[in-house]
Every structure is written in C-alpha cells, then in structure tokens.
Structure 1
Amino acid sequence: MAEGTRLVAPVLSAVGGSGRSIVANLLACALAPAGATVVLDTAPRLSSPWPAWTADGHAGGLAALPADQPLSPAQVRQAASWRPGLDGGQWQVLTDGRDWHTPPLALPDEPAAWHQLSAIGGWNAVIADTAHPMAHDVLAARCERRQGQTRGWCELPYAVPVLCAAATASGIQALQQAVMALHAEGLPLQRAVAVLVATTDGRTPAVVRAGATMLGPRTASVVHLPYDPGIRAHGLGAPSRLRPRTQQAAGQLAAAVHAAARAAWGDPLPRAPRPAPLSAPVPAL
C-alpha cells in the first residue's frame, strides 16, 4: 500500500461465537506485509481476548491515550502492542492490557472516534474488531432514527466490511438475516467480504454451502476459514503453529479485501483523509 493510503476493515458479526477476533487476527497477519497494520480492539477488557494475546507486548494500551488531550502520532503508535505475523513481519494492536481489577475505560461507541485515532497513528491497514451485534444494531438504529455503529463503520472512508459467521446452520442463518438487514438499509454490501469460520474438521455442511452460494451475488466475496486445532489448543499467541491451509485462507481473505477496495476506489487507493494539524499554542502574556 502506498504511503498516505488507508484501508479500513471493520470485522462485524451478528451473534457471538462467530470467530470475529480470530478473523481480525488472521487478516492483520496477512495485510501486514502490504503496509503498517493495526487492530483496534473496541470490546470491554474483560470480554476481549486481545489483552491475553498481547500480554508480552509491553505497551501502555488505550489507557495511555487520554481522551481530553491532544495526541501525537508517536504517542498513539507507542501505546499499541506488537504482534507477530505469518512471515516474520509484525503488526500492532490497540487494546486495554491493564490488570483485570483496574477500573474499566470509557471506550467510544462512535466509529469516527476510532478512525480518527488510527489516522493519527498513520497506519495503512486498520482492522476494527467490533463488539456489537450488527443485525440488532441496524434494526435498533432504524427504529430509533439514529445512525448506528454498523452504518458508521461501513461508511468510513475506504471501508471494506468483513462479515463473520460460524460455518453452521445457525451461523449461516444469522448471517443471512444480517445481510437482509444491511441490504434493506442500503449499506455497501457490494464491497463487503463474508467469512465462514469452520467449527469442526471435515466437510462443510450442505446448508452452509448453499448459504454461501446465496451470499455470493450480494457480497464482493465469500471466504471459507478452515478449522484449525492449533487455534483451539493454543489460541493465537503463536501464528507459526497455524496449519498451512489456515495461512492460505488468511491470504485469500486479505486478497478479497484488497480486491473489493480496488473495485470500489481504483488501484492504487487514493490518499486517505488526514486529521487537521493542531494549531500552535498561544504563549501566555
């Protein structure tokens, strides 16, 4: 990715247990060789896997970024923990890695606030691990006549939504229902990438294959993420333990996100919006 460009990939799901954080992790591993990459952990600390995955990162995390003070690019970058990639490269995570008993942070709900933070940090690839149920959020926002987080993420500059679901009958049903809600609200499904996360080894169930076929025309791409016992046994602390086919699927996911972005905005991507510079402080008289 050229310097000054920014690709945003909000990872969304309709229900819990969809493999959202695993998808965000693997996508970051695969995008890292293309440019500076960060994952934004938007979930509360005690419901997120990222603090455990970044326990050795030795960074201040989100708590080191006061919301009521100006931030420099160096401050934002130094607050992010480092994670190993699939090919020896590295990428970063902004999460709250403090001890469990510390008071919770008041994290912003607005996607624009997270986008501004990533823009200050200057990353090329920004992956947001969201925590809200997208279909419920879309319906609630419609009934309450407000924007909603899902729309906010999907309408950020150069955003390619990544829609996750477990590769099960209930998972594909939840994703299909969410896609119908997104379609009814006119959200950009034409550049969305669906990811079906296998929960067991073996052949994909027929109902999931049929659901993937139906999703194909409505989304930019459908990617199948195979079951990996290494993730179940060891989490994602060591990407080198992943099966080759898992690494291959991560590459396919990154390629699908890139292809959706190129189809929407051209190749290379246009330069991303930049935050306005802070004005110089006026010295006291």
Structure 2
Amino acid sequence: MGKKEDALVALPAGSRLVLPVMAATGGSGRSTVADLLAGAMASAGTGTAVLDTAPRLSSPWPSWTLGQEAGGLAVLPPDRPLTRSQVQSAAAWRQAGRGAGWQVLTDGRDWHSPPLTLPQDPAAWLQLAAIGGWQAVIADTTHPVAHDILDARCAGRTGQTRAWCELPYAVPVLCAAATASGVQALQQAVMALHADGMPLQRTVAVLVAQTDGRLPAVVRAGATMLTSRTAAVVHLPHDPHIRTHGLRTASRLRSRTRQAAHSLAQAVLTAAGATWGMPLPEAPRPAPLAVVSPASRPL
C-alpha cells in the first residue's frame, strides 16, 4: 500500500505559476521531470501545459505525443495575433491519471520537415502560455545553466537562466542525475546561481536516480549541502518502465515514482507560497491588441 498523498492546493483563478525545468548538463532527466511535474500539477485541478523549447529532432516530446491531430508549434504564426482557441488546439494532450490531463506545445511534424525557428526569449514563451490560458506552465529548457550564467556575465547581457528566473511567479526546477558527476555539475550550477544573485530560495532541486538501491554517499552528501541552499531537494527514484519505454505511456509507472512527482509539485507550491503568499496573486495578462478599423487606417 502506497503512502497516502495530501491533496495539492489548486491555483486560484487568474494566477499563473511558471516552472522552468533546467539542468547543468545533458542526461539529467530534465524532460522526465517536466513530464512528471506536469502530471502532478494537472491532478491538482489546474490548467497545465509543457512548453517544449527544444528543436524537434533533439526532443522526446514529439514521440510522446505521437498520433494526435494537434498542429503544434508549426501552426502558430509568429507574426500575427493569436487567439486562445488557436493556441489550445495546437497543443497535444497527455494523460495524468485519475482522469486529469494536460497539454504539450511541441513540434510534432514528420522528422524531415524544415526546422522551426523557436523563440529564445522566455518572455515570448510566457506570452504564448498566457494566451493559451494555462495556470501551471512547465518549460522544458535546453540551455546548460552554469555555462549560460558565465557566458552571460562575460558578455554583459542577460542570459537564458536569469530571464527564466525573472519571469513573474517563476519557481525554477534544477535537475541532475543522482551520480557523483551529476551532483558535482549541480553543485557547480548552484554556486554559479548564488554568485549571480539568482533566486535559490525559491529553486527546487531534483536528483534523478539512475539505478535502484541506496544512493551513493557522495550523492547523499551533495543533497545535504543543497538542502541548505535551495527551497527543497526532491529525490526521483529509478523507474524501469521509464528507462525501457520512455514516457509515451505513464500507466505502468511505479507508485513511488508518482509519489515523488507529487512531492515535487508540493515543494514547488510551498516555495511559491513562501515567496508570494497563498493564494497566489493574479498573474499579468498580455496587453489587448488595438482594433484598427478600415476608416482609421492611413491612406
């Protein structure tokens, strides 16, 4: 019998929580964490979506949403106004269990289709999510966190990491493999975040186990250090179904995997509440477009 999960607090109408899922290196379980987090947030009764910011042929999301009729990112014109129905219909659906579902905005076209030019500015992704009306927005990012921070500092510009962290009501989620090298990369990223004044007090760290059994001593020691630096540290256990079949179907996930996803969602909501209070304030809305009548147009 699995441990009974406390119900998550649903986000109030008008609020929006942005959860950029980031990592210092590849192979950190970032997309898996984004998927599980979205499922847990959807179970709380919120409109939830994952924004896939990766190029199509390097992303797992198109295969996880295979066979749906959603047009994806390719049908959203970048140079014209969008409606909520356009954005919603472009997103594919994922099942979260217990009857709950959530959506994914990805590029689900055939592999040989021309590449899309995806926006780099996190604010553009936030505006897209706001138009879609989602309250819990999980962004599966692709940039290496520590390198991005150092590169931005040397170039005297705002990097991707800072831009995601500074979005309204953003709770960063930082992933790493639960190995010696994974924890070392995560610790280095946390030091870079601290040196650059990033909001570690509302950042949640996730250690993704690669095998069953007890975590290595170096990983446990790293988790202890991270606990004092971040809002929370969540352990995601190894799940053979994910390793073998990926996350195209989630019906055979272990109960402890679902419990870890629930704990992650709870940690995110707790960090948000500690930062902005609960219930969350209303989120900013995109400015309405001015309607230009034919009579007012210049000749």
- Taking structure 1 as the reference length, the TM-score comes to 0.99
Q: 2:154 & 2:282 partners in 1: Cα distance?
A: 36
Number of positions where the alignment pairs a residue of Structure 1 with one of Structure 2: 285
Residue 6 of structure 2 corresponds to none
Q: Which amino acid aligns with 1:148?
A: G
Q: Which amino acid aligns with 2:72?
A: G
User: Does the Cα contact within 8 Å between 2:237 and 2:257 map onto a contact in 1?
Assistant: yes
Match of 1:55 among 62, 66, 83: 66
User: Does the Cα contact within 8 Å between 1:62 and 1:79 map onto a contact in 2?
Assistant: yes
Residue 22 of structure 1 corresponds to 32
Q: 2:147 & 2:94 partners in 1: Cα distance?
A: 32
Q: 2:68 & 2:227 partners in 1: Cα distance?
A: 39
Q: Does 1:203 align with 2:203?
A: no
Match of 1:7 among 14, 17, 22: 17
Match of 1:131 among 142, 145, 170: 142
Match of 2:82 among 36, 60, 71: 71
User: Does the Cα contact within 8 Å between 1:86 and 1:247 map onto a contact in 2?
Assistant: no
What are structure 1's unaligned runs of at least 5 residues? Answer: none
Percent pairwise identity: 71
Report the Cα offset of residue 56 of structure 1. Answer: 2.4
The 3-state SS of whatever aligns with 1:3 is coil
User: Does the Cα contact within 8 Å between 1:30 and 1:86 map onto a contact in 2?
Assistant: no
Match of 2:47 among 19, 24, 36: 36
User: Does the Cα contact within 8 Å between 2:40 and 2:262 map onto a contact in 1?
Assistant: yes
Moved segments of 4+, more than 3 Å: none
Report the Cα offset of residue 189 of structure 1. Answer: 0.4
The 3-state SS of whatever aligns with 1:10 is strand
1:225-284 Cα offsets, whole Å, 9 max, x none, are: 000001011111111110000000000000000000000000000000000111113225
Q: 2:176 & 2:97 partners in 1: Cα distance?
A: 23
Q: 1:242 & 1:88 partners in 2: Cα distance?
A: 16
Residue 111 of structure 1 corresponds to 122
1:31-54 Cα offsets, whole Å, 9 max, x none, are: 002300000000000000000001
User: Does the Cα contact within 8 Å between 2:64 and 2:249 map onto a contact in 1?
Assistant: no
Q: Does 1:179 align with 2:211?
A: no
Q: Which amino acid aligns with 1:15?
A: T
Q: Which amino acid aligns with 1:164?
A: C
Match of 1:267 among 278, 285, 295: 278
Q: Does 1:237 align with 2:237?
A: no
Q: 1:249 & 1:14 partners in 2: Cα distance?
A: 21
Report the Cα offset of residue 87 of structure 1. Answer: 2.1
Q: 1:127 & 1:103 partners in 2: Cα distance?
A: 26
User: Does the Cα contact within 8 Å between 1:57 and 1:83 map onto a contact in 2?
Assistant: no
User: Does the Cα contact within 8 Å between 1:13 and 1:134 map onto a contact in 2?
Assistant: yes
Q: 1:59 & 1:73 partners in 2: Cα distance?
A: 14
What's the C-alpha RMSD, in Å, of the aligned pairs?
0.8
The 3-state SS of whatever aligns with 2:51 is strand
What are structure 2's unaligned runs of at least 5 residues? Answer: 1-10
